[in-house]
Amino acid sequence: MSVLRLTIPVGMPDVHPRVRAVSQKLPGILLVLWVLTLPLEFTKRYFPNQVIELSRVVIVLALLTFVAQIVLERREVRLPSTTAMAALAAFLVYAAVSAALSTSAQGIKTVLAMVAYMAMMLTVFNWTRTSGDHRRVWTALAISAIVLAVVGLALHMTGSYIWNAPDKGILRVNATFGDPNIFARFLGIAIVTSVFLGADLYQRWRPAALWVAAALAATLILPYTYSRAGWVFTLVVLVTAMVIARNRKRALVLAAMVLAVFGLIALVDGSVLSRGAYLAQNLESPFTHPVNIDQAPSLTFLDILPSADGPVLRVRPAGFSHHRVAHIDRLDPGRDRIVRTRDCAGVCGLVREVDRGGSPTKRFAEDTVARAGPGDPSDRARESVQQPALRRALPVALSGARVRGPRRFAGRGGGGGYCSGSRSPAVRFVIVGSSRGCGVLRTASLRARTNSSW
């Protein structure tokens, strides 16, 4: 990878040797601490503001340390000079301008969080220059995956939760996360990373055994998240890891072990197998049962790129939900707001919200979803709206926004139910955005006191 070195024109101050020594040791400690605390989303319950959680405190400390290092000794910043980084930077600038021109406080918060995580990414890039630096970070990830797997298994066997227990339905394990879907994606990342590194031809036996243990431990608890999107993401990326691994045969063996463990659990536990059957139904529903809204299936018939009424930079990050609910009120002022939209696709959702589809597409989507809800008098009325919608919407399908029932939970820290997407869009941008890729918009109209999940 080509690296661009950006020199910072600052003077070299006089620094006490002890301060310099601490500055040199902190990066390794903070990186490991960040990896270990990243899954501890439940810690936000113990802060006065639930935007704050332990991993974000570590991020602030890491960024301050990195800036201090630049001023005290480094005087340069290493930047990865790749096309992907250039595209990412351009997108961040575009989203920032869009948010700045808006009145959306949530959109501005989202962009600021994205900038913070981009800065953290550059910090990690500058702090991991040697194989030892990389080994410490990956080892921390493996240990974190094993510990969380043990915690998840204990919670599953006892039927208990650390926080955000579901109000009803199947008991989906979320461990230290606010949402089992996010936990599933973390486990998927741990599994794929462990298989990829465990198959490295030049790794010694001991670290390879650690990664194999992490992969198997994460696989043991992954089925009990009941996250169908997490299962699919893990499978797809696992295949990619096998293709690009240095030792493909060893990667194939490790991947086969992971799939065998998952398959065995599915055969033994009928609830896992039935959950997988629902996934197949969701994929088939646009073509076999495009209607049936009263049964609240996971319809995958409508994904669009919502846009504001202006041509450029008018729909802000996190703005789609506001525009859509307002449009429902215009169509039927007396209707209860049964359907809600929550973005759950990280960067893809943000792309969808910064004006890519044009006003006609946005209006079409709002009219279709708003009119096809339970307020319509008959199935025939819903069918007359939905079937044309299916034919027109599929060609412009992109990532996965979400339509939900009314939020009947106490929130992230209230100990009520969980809500998918509880982790901030910035974290999903870094961790989850690529995992969802470009899927489809999942829509469902729900009765009161009903919550749907992916």
Q: Torsion-angle region of residue 226: left (phi > 0), alpha (psi -120 to 50) or beta?
A: left
The CA distance from 128 to 406, in Å, is 45
Q: Which residue has the tokens 């936990």?
A: 183
The CA distance from 247 to 208, in Å, is 13
* Joined tokens for residue 239: 């295949």
Pure H helices in 50-104: 54-69, 83-100
Q: What is the pTM of this model?
A: 0.64
The CA distance from 227 to 216, in Å, is 18
SS3 354: coil
pLDDT in tens, 338-349: 443 333 333 334
What letter would DSSP give residue 200? -
**Which range (23-32, 231-240, 325-334, 366-375) has the least confidence?**
366-375
**pLDDT given for residue 322 in this prediction:** 52
Please name the residues in contact with 276: beta carbons below 8 A apart, sequence gap of 6 or more: 228, 231, 266
Q: Is the pLDDT of residue 422 over 50?
A: no
Between the alpha carbon of residue 18 and those of residues 23, 25, 27, 104, the distances in Å are: 9, 11, 15, 46
**pLDDT given for residue 64 in this prediction:** 92
- H or E segment at 111? helix 105-127
Q: Which of 369, 368, 389, 337 is nearest to 444 (CA)?
A: 369
* Joined tokens for residue 130: 């040697």
pLDDT in tens, 249-278: 888 999 999 999 999 999 998 888 877 777
Q: How much of the chain is in helix, strand and coil states, percent to nearest 5?
A: 60, 5, 35
CB 116 within 8 A of CB 9: no
The CA distance from 209 to 146, in Å, is 12
Q: Give the chain's radius of gyration (CA, Å).
A: 23
Q: Is the pLDDT of residue 94 over 70?
A: yes
What letter would DSSP give residue 316? P
Please name the residues in contact with 298: beta carbons below 8 A apart, sequence gap of 6 or more: 278, 281, 282, 285, 442, 444, 452, 454
For 109, other C-beta atoms within 10 Å of its C-beta total 17
pLDDT in tens, 153-175: 999 999 888 988 766 567 889 99
- H or E segment at 404? strand 401-404
pLDDT band at 72 (very low <50, low <70, confident <90, very high): confident
Q: How much is the average pLDDT of 394-423? A: 33
Q: Which residue has the tokens 């998840």?
A: 152
The more confidently predicted of residues 270 and 428 is 270
**pLDDT given for residue 355 in this prediction:** 37
pLDDT in tens, 17-54: 777 777 778 888 999 999 999 999 999 989 988 888 99
Question: In the predicted model, what is the mean pLDDT of the chain?
Answer: 67
Task: Tell me the DSSP string of 411-424.
Answer: -TTTTS---TT-S-
Percent residues over pLDDT 70 in the chain: 56
CB 355 within 8 A of CB 148: no
Give phi and psi for 226, each to the nearest 5.
55, 30
pLDDT band at 329 (very low <50, low <70, confident <90, very high): low
CB 341 within 8 A of CB 260: no
Q: Is the pLDDT of residue 424 over 90?
A: no
For 241, other C-beta atoms within 10 Å of its C-beta total 21
pLDDT band at 296 (very low <50, low <70, confident <90, very high): very low
pLDDT in tens, 103-135: 667 777 778 888 888 899 889 988 988 888 888
Q: How much is the average pLDDT of 219-226? A: 94
